[in-house]
Amino acid sequence: MSGKSLVKNYMTKDVISVNPNTPNANVIKLMKDTGHDGFPVIDENEHIVGIVTAFDLLLKEWEELVKDIMSTEVVVAQQDMSINDASRVMFRQGISRLPVVGRDGRLNGIITNTDMVRSHIERSTPTKVNYFKKTLEQLYGIKTNLKREKVSTNDLRPTQDKVYADELEGRTYELKRGLAEPAIVVKSGNRWILVDGHHRAVAARKLGCNEIDCYVINLNKDLELGMEKTADKAGIHNFDDIEIIDDAQHPLIAITESLKKKNA
């Protein structure tokens, strides 16, 4: 999990593109169907020759074909460019997407602001999981190994007694768009103990996802963790035992309301 994060690791490879002779009416329909607000324009050799966005369609005089309104000064990224460098380019240029080209000049993918956010999330999680891994090793006097893998939601043993509806909505949004950071799980014996990521796991189950992305810390032996004992005492054995707290009862909402009353 170390090393430089590269554009090729986070770009979308299946890019929807158009050609210079695509009717603009088709582009509008494509935007409605896909929810995207811009597309790379490629020629017959799959070389990028422009980009067409909703701004081109809204702010320029109406024309029939893409070639008549597309922007031809396109900033592109290379696959092996670092995420940080690509972020700087996008920020300085004031753009929200970068087409990614190979050494042959062909379109290989596209990276967007959303992908940048995902890369930041996934880079911040290893710091948290490595800290927890070291804590377990010191606490139990053992050596563990760490692996990133998909884990069945049916196998996960929750250790948290409640989740909040507003955060659940946020995790649902992230999961639908591939933004959710991996959960943290401890494998002890045959048990998959969910340490961090209860909102993600509950959201995944509600969406019908059979598995979620996890950092799994394998203890290589069967040890009962303190959080398991606490969950047992609280009667938390599966996801049906987790209470979903509505927005009005969220601690942050309560603090906000309290501050409002105080100021009033």
- Structure confidence by residue, pLDDT tens digits, 177-219: 877 889 999 999 999 999 999 999 999 999 999 999 999 999 9
Model pLDDT, residue 247: 57
- Mean pLDDT to the nearest integer, 215-242: 93
Q: Tokens 């081109």 appear where?
A: 56
- Mean pLDDT to the nearest integer, 246-258: 53
- Mean pLDDT to the nearest integer, 84-102: 88
Higher pLDDT among residues 138 and 264, named by residue: 138
- Mean pLDDT to the nearest integer, 37-50: 93
Which residues have a Cβ under 8 Å from the Cβ of 26 and sit 6 or more positions away? 18
Concatenating the DSSP letter of every residue in the chain gives: --S--BHHHHSBSS---B-TTSBHHHHHHHHHHH--SEEEEE-TTSBEEEEEEHHHHHHSPP-SBGGGT-B-----EETTSBHHHHHHHHHHHT-SEEEEE-TTSBEEEEEEHHHHHHHHHHHHHHHHHHHHHHHHHHHHT---EEEEEEEETTTEE---SEEEHHHHHHHHHHHHTT-PPPEEEEEETTEEEEEE-HHHHHHHHHTT-SEEEEEEEE-SS----HHHHHHHHTT--SGGG-EEE-GGG-HHHHHHHHHHHHH-
Model pLDDT, residue 4: 67
Model pLDDT, residue 250: 53
- Structure confidence by residue, pLDDT tens digits, 55-78: 999 999 999 999 999 999 888 999
- Structure confidence by residue, pLDDT tens digits, 8-31: 988 988 899 999 999 999 999 999
Ranking 44-53, 75-84, 157-166, 243-252 by mean pLDDT, the lowest is: 243-252
Residue type, 250: H
- Mean pLDDT to the nearest integer, 33-40: 90
Higher pLDDT among residues 198 and 254, named by residue: 198
Is the confidence at residue 54, as pLDDT, over 80? yes
- Structure confidence by residue, pLDDT tens digits, 240-251: 999 998 755 555
